[in-house]
Amino acid sequence: MKHTAALICAIVITIASLPQAKAQVIVRLELTKSSYIINEPVKAIIYITNHAGRELTLSGENGRPWLDFNISSRGRPIYPARRINYGAAIIPAGQTVARSVSLNISYALEQMGNYTCQAYIKMPGPSDNGFASNRTHFTVTKGRVEWSQRVGVPEAPDEIREYELLTFTGNRAMELFAHVTSTNRGQEIATIPLGKIISFRKPTGTLDAANNMHALYQVKPDLFGHSCITPNGVLKFTTFHKRGASGNPRLMTFADGSVKIAGGVLFDPVAEEEARKKVRNVSERPPFIYN
C-alpha cells in the first residue's frame, strides 16, 4: 500500500513538474545560419505561440527582461555583457509572434568555437515561471582574407583603420564580408555582410580620396556588386553592374579621388522587370486569319 501511494505521489509530482509550455506557450528558436565569422551579427528569431486561452503581455519586471538566453561554449556558460530592453510583446490568444535579436549585442561571441543557445521566456507575475525553447548550435570561425589595406581617418589623425574583404564558405555558398578594425586601439569596428558571391573572379578593393573602401565582387556570371564602406564601418551604398561591351566591370580611380565603375552597365532590377513584362510570349499573339 505504501509502495502504491508512493508511486501515485511520484506520478503526480512528475505530471505537476512537466513543462507546461507544451500546453500554454511554445517557444521556438531559429538562427539565420549555422556558421558565422568572427564579429558577424548572430541573428536569432524567437517564435512564441500562445495557447494560454487569453492574451499575453510579456514585459520586463523589476529590472529583469522577459526574454533571456542560455549560451555556452565548450560546456562553459557565457554570461551577458549587458542587458537589453526588448520592449513589451503582446501575443493574442492562439497566435504566434516572432522577435528578431542580434545575440552579439548582449553576449561576447568573438571567440572561435562551437556554441549552444537556448531562449527563455519569463511569464508575467512575481514567480520565476517561464518556458524554454529548443537548443540550437552554431559555429564562429575566421574568414579568408582576400584583400586588406590600412588607412588613416581624416577627422581623427591618430586613428589607424584596417579594411579587409573576407570570404567564408561555412554555409555551403561563398559569402563576402567587409571587416573594419581600429589597429592602434585593437577594437572591432564592424563586420558587414555583402552577400553571396561566386569565385570566378577574386574580390578586390581600393580607396577613394576620403579613405572609404570600394569593393568589387562577382555575384553571378554576368553580375557584379560595388559596395562602399566608410572608416567608421558604415555601408554607404551597394550598386550592381552587368558586364559591358568592353568586358567585366572594374574599379577606376579618377583625378579627383573618386572611385567609379568602368566597363560595366548599371543594373536596375526594377527597370529590367518592367522591360520583361513588356515582352509578350508567343502564346499571347493574336491569331492569324488565313484566306
Give CA–CA dist 242/264, Å, rounded. Answer: 6
3-state secondary structure of 33: coil
**Order of strands, sheet of 113-122, starting from the edge strand that comes earlier in the sequence:** 35-37, 130-141, 113-122, 67-73, 76-78
* 8 A C-beta contact, residue 136 and residue 117: yes
23-141: which CATH topology? Immunoglobulin-like (2.60.40)
Give CA–CA dist 264/122, Å, rounded. Answer: 54
Give CA–CA dist 43/23, Å, rounded. Answer: 28
Q: What is the pLDDT of residue 83?
A: 78
Match 572608416 to its residue by C-alpha cell.
231
Average pLDDT over residues 195-212: 94
Q: What is the pLDDT of residue 130?
A: 87
Strand partners for 101:
44
Q: Where in the chain is the domain with CATH 2.60.40.2970?
A: 23-141
pLDDT grade for 194, boundaries at 50, 70 and 90: very high
Q: What is the pLDDT of residues 33-61, one digit of tens each?
A: 999 998 888 999 999 999 988 899 998 87
Give CA–CA dist 216/261, Å, rounded. Answer: 9
Q: What is the pLDDT of residue 209?
A: 95
Give CA–CA dist 145/135, Å, rounded. Answer: 32
Query: Closest Cα partner for 242 from 224, 269, 262, 220?
Result: 224
Average pLDDT over residues 257-272: 86
